[in-house]
Amino acid sequence: MANEPKSTSSKADDLQKALEEQIYELREEIARINETVAERSAGMISSARDKASEAYVGAADRAARATRQLRTQANAVSEVARENPATTTAVLGAVGLIGFMLGMVVGQSTTDTHHRRWHM
């Protein structure tokens, strides 16, 4: 009987040591996983940053080209308008008249529909 408590005690000590060793191994494994995740996320962030930078530079280049092209076209239109003031006035007047008429038609169609719905 005197041997039984020692063997139970030694088994408990063995179990405790085994559990502590497993906990230590799990902590090491978690640390390795954390390192791997950190390395991968750093790589992904760097890649995303590079792609965003490339996209920004590309967009800036396209915007600069579009601005130059619009400036060139605006200069051409203003030059034509200066050379032909009567034609420019007639074209702008026609566009204004067409816009006014379209506004009237749209306004009438929505107003008529509204009245018909309530007065039937």
Q: Can you tell me the distance from the alpha carbon of 17 to that of 23, in angstroms, rounded to the nearest whole number? A: 10
Q: Say if residue 104's pLDDT is above 80.
A: yes
Average pLDDT over residues 92-118: 81
Give mean pLDDT, residues 18-22. Answer: 93
pLDDT at 109: 80
Residue 1 pLDDT: 44
Question: What mean pLDDT do residues 58-75 have?
Answer: 94
Q: Cα separations (Å) of 1 from 6, 10, 17? A: 9, 15, 25
